[in-house]
Amino acid sequence: MMLVGRMDSSEIRKPEGYFSPPPLRLVVLSLCTFHAYEFYWFYKNWKYTGERFFWLKTILSPFLAYQLFKKVDHVENKAGLVLPVPIVIPAGFYLLLIMGSLLPSMPQLYQITSFFSFLPLLVVNNLAIKINKRRNPDYVFVGLSVYKWLLLAPLIILIEGCLAWGYIYFSRLPV
């Protein structure tokens, strides 16, 4: 009988930097998962910062995005990098875009613009990429191969189709 051994704390690998996927992946997965990938982005980055209640901050990310963006901006300023816009602008923009999708009573224009909630994340994600490259010059994106993307594409399309079908079905039910 073979027993599975426990991992030592030295074997557990801590992330090497902020979670910063390639910008195209951030956009595509954000749109394909109806913005669930944005919550995953917040989860990974809150976890990296060492916050105690990172899972709660992930759930409340539309309201606490400024705190995470400010932490990334603070690290960036220490590294000598310059942000082209104040960090308040992406955080406020993210909150407005997410609120457009969360509140059904908003005009349809706001609901449509909520599809672009990944734009403020791109600004902060690019900062995280620069910080990771500054800390580790050998930093490379950890990406999926073309083969794995081809395997995941039907799954993403299936999930998206089920969500769209559910939205259409439940929006037509009498109140």
Give residue-wise pLDDT tens across range 41-93.
999 998 888 888 888 888 888 788 888 888 888 877 776 766 666 767 777 77
Domain boundaries, the chain: 23-142, 144-175
Share of residues in the chain with pLDDT > 70 (%): 66
CB atoms within 10 A of CB 98: 19
**Main-chain phi, psi angles of 118, to 5 degrees:** -75, -15
CA–CA dist 18, 75 (Å, integer)? 11
The pTM of the full predicted model, rounded to 2 decimals, is 0.67
Q: What is the mean pLDDT of the chain?
A: 74
Tallying the residues shown for the chain, one arrives at 175
CB-based contact 26:122 (threshold 8 Å): yes
Inform me whether the pLDDT recorded for 10 exceeds 60: no
Distances (CA, A) of 21 to 46, 120, 132, 161: 15, 14, 11, 25
